Chains A and B, each alone.
Chain A
Amino acid sequence: MKLRKVFAIGLSGMMALGLAGCGEKAPDTIKLGLIVPKTGQVAQYGIAVENAANLAVEEINAAGGIDGKQVQLFSYDNKADATESINVFNRLVDNDKIVALVGPVISSTSLAVAPLAEEKKIPMISPTATNLAVTPDYSYVFRACYTDPYQGGTVAKFASENLAAKTAAVLYNAGDDYSTGLAEAFKATFEAAGGTITSYEGYTADDKDFKAVLTTIKEKQPEVLFNPDYYNTVGLIAGQVKEVGLDTIMLGGDGWDDVQKDYADVVDGYFFANHYATDDPDPIVQNFIKAYQDKYEGNTPNALGALGYDATKIMLDAIAKAGSTEGEKILAALQATDTDAVAGHVTFDENGDPQKSVSMIKVEGGALKLEAKIGQ
């Protein structure tokens, strides 16, 4: 009898301890959401961002977390699709109860999520959505990269100043906000600098054959060909540029990042705008590269990785500075951001767009080399 009583007390004591453990654990984490494409055309981008975000979270947790609380990252695949992005955003907010969001990665999906983040007062920072319309209408939406017009204009400036090109052709994906945004800005800036646009041609996402349109472009012999699209399409087009014998220098935007992995032979000697260069000697850059390589078996992070890391860090810093997980307080801290990040020094303008420099990268012998840094 006595024994049984002792046993019962012991058991209830253990249960109480167990329950206390549970109760203590729940509010003890800071829940951060991440939306990235892990399947589909731009899967490499999503995986790079996710890896980098995991690294940033791990570093913060290893250093004791934020106010002693560990950061918990909830990551979902949006398949680079706008509707799917909205579904996973709702799941993150309703089921996982996140306090802030990093992502989505590409512009079209970020445009889909931005109004929802505003409505639910979830501070959101897209690492890589470069389309102009992502931030201005939404006070809760920020980005870690520069915008399409800024980037397209910088490539045009590079073409006319550094390459001394007088003629350019533009070939862009007419069904994609990112591609169209860069193409328009390139055209405007290049013409303003006194250059001539010989062809301005759009295509659709399903197109695989570009030889017909490239043959027409070839007749006008442009010195440069601007193709702002993602690496798979760029590889396809660059191969056909060679096939039709079009002798030109191809230029692109940050969507080209990773193009050297599968298509080094066809894009050799071409240039594209990017957010950071792995051969940049800045210690912040080199420390990040080393940490990433240690964690991911020697893989060198691409620009998407750098921006994913920056975006996660900026958001976590803001949560730490706000000293709260309330949307409004995090928002105020985000607006006051003034920090050195991997992809350049970051402050935000009134739209939530960072003010930073553009690196022009050259593909050479399967490697990426920093050609020029074109300033703010």
Chain B
Amino acid sequence: MSGFIQQLINGIHVGSIYALIALGYTMVYGIVKLINFAHGDILMMGAYFGLFSITVLHLPFGLAIVVAMAACALVGMLIDVIAYKPLRNAPRISALITALGVSLFLENFFRVIFGAEPKKMPNIPSLEGGFVLGTIKLSYVTVLTVILSIVFMVALQFVVKKTKVGKAMRAVSEDKEAARLMGVNVNKTISITFALGSALGALGGVLYSVAYYQVEPYMGIMPGLKAFVAAVLGGIGIIPGAMLGGFVMGLIESLSKGYISSSWSNAIVFGILILVLLFKPSGILGKNVREKV
């Protein structure tokens, strides 16, 4: 039984990171209908920015997170302006291929600058150790990851539902042209969406590198793909769906590693994507929206 609870804790830890990254996918998809494959690399850059804030600038961990999030928010907006904005009215497939190109560019750019050798994230003294209840261990890293993820998800939900910016985002996502006619600055809104999504991705990246100690140029690929699956699982374009999808993914992964086989877990996780697409293409929380003719 304690083993099962431990597996649930492990699953929620990984799941909350997937959820953070999935939010970026889902927000961008919701607003420009683009699957931003470079989002996994935002996670990687976030981890690098976090690493350098700690090792080079000697910032405390909390401040390092802020620096990484701010830097990635900027990079996210920059990517949008340089790579995606010129293609706003091009066929969707062009933007998708551009996203793959941006992803490859970022990975190789970081590999050339910093090398492919994984860099070790230093131990964060304040995060060592954890709570022990019998045989169950709950490390401080896990607690911090889950709390930070939930706080930022709630904050995001507040921004989207209660603020003027959020209202603009919802308007643009519903109908870009109508929003423009109503006086919404569409490009600015899209930029803000990229910034928010990228900041959350960076947070995910720093938390990921603290949990798994290593920072390397290709570290974003796997969690990026899994977060994408999480976003689809929950219903792409729907913010609570991404959160739910992230946690479900983390739990499935953890339980299949624990009780089936760790070499099968990726096959199971991606198998689930196929099943979801077959039976409920719009995701767990997705509604079937009829195409406007």
Contacts and interface: CB of A to CB of B under 8 A. Distances in A.
A39 B115 CA distance: 7
B26 interface: no
B98 interface: no
A44 B265 CA distance: 30
B14 interface: yes
Contacts of A332: none
Contact of B212 (A41, A43, A236, A263): A236
A202 B137 contact: no
A120 interface: no
A7 B136 CA distance: 93
A244 B137 CA distance: 6
Nearest to B219: A208
B266 interface: yes
A39 B254 CA distance: 32
Contact of A41 (B118, B130, B139, B265): B118
- The residue among B115, B120, B257, B258 with the most chain A CB atoms within 10 A of its own CB is B257
B117 A235 contact: no
B262 A215 contact: no
Contacts of A41: 116-118
B263 A245 contact: no
Given A208-B222, A243-B137, A245-B132, A213 B117 contact: no
Nearest to A265: B123
Interface in B35-57: none
A212 B258 contact: yes
A263 B263 CA distance: 25
Contacts of A39: 111, 115-117
Contacts, number: 97
Nearest to B2: A219
- Chain B interface extent, by class: 35 or more
A213 B116 contact: no
Contacts of A43: 115-117
Interface in A227-249: 232, 235-236, 239, 243-245
A41 B217 CA distance: 11
Contacts of A211: 6, 10, 13, 254
B39 to A, nearest CB: 17
A258 to B, nearest CB: 11
B3 interface: yes
B4 to A, nearest CB: 9
A206 B262 CA distance: 11
- The residue among A204, A211, A216 with the most chain B CB atoms within 10 A of its own CB is A211
B7 interface: yes
Interface in B217-231: 219, 221-223
A144 B201 CA distance: 46
B130 to A, nearest CB: 8
A37 to B, nearest CB: 10
7 contacts: A39-B115, A43-B116, A208-B212, A209-B10, A209-B14, A215-B7, A218-B135
- The 7 A-B pairs of least Cβ separation, nearest first, read A212-B257, A202-B263, A212-B254, A211-B10, A213-B262, A212-B258, A208-B212
